[in-house]
């Protein structure tokens, strides 16, 4: 994480049999990369349908940044091979305000 960042939300897309396995793989990857894992943003782990990846997820949620996501074909390969994709990192430089 850049030193000027005070915190970040990192999005992971993990092929796994269940959300617990996906979460463990993502947190292991975060720690391996030197990040400090604190919690799941909003306490939610979402399950996406890989068949709807491009049209119903990337284009609807991240169209402005679609070049940074795996294609529909690439996500099918990721699922078939049990892969992982590190998605967007949303960082901030200010300390959180206690309001």
In whole angstroms, what is the distance from residue 35 CA to residue 4 CA? 14
What are the pLDDT digits (tens) for 37-73? 888 888 889 899 999 999 999 999 899 999 999 999 9
In whole angstroms, what is the distance from residue 83 CA to residue 2 CA? 26
**Which residue spans within the chain are E strands per DSSP?**
7-14, 84-92
Q: Give residue 96's pLDDT band: very low, low, confident or very high (50, 70, 90).
A: low
């Amino acid at each position: 994480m850049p030193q000027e960042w005070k915190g970040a939300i990192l999005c992971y897309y993990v092929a796994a049999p269940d959300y617990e396995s996906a979460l463990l793989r993502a947190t292991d990857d975060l720690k391996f990369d030197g990040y400090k894992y604190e919690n799941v943003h909003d306490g939610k782990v979402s399950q996406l349908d890989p068949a709807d990846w491009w049209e119903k997820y990337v284009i609807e949620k991240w169209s402005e940044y679609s070049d940074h996501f795996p294609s529909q074909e690439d996500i099918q390969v990721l699922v078939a091979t049990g892969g992982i994709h590190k998605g967007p990192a949303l960082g901030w430089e200010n300390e959180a305000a206690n309001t």
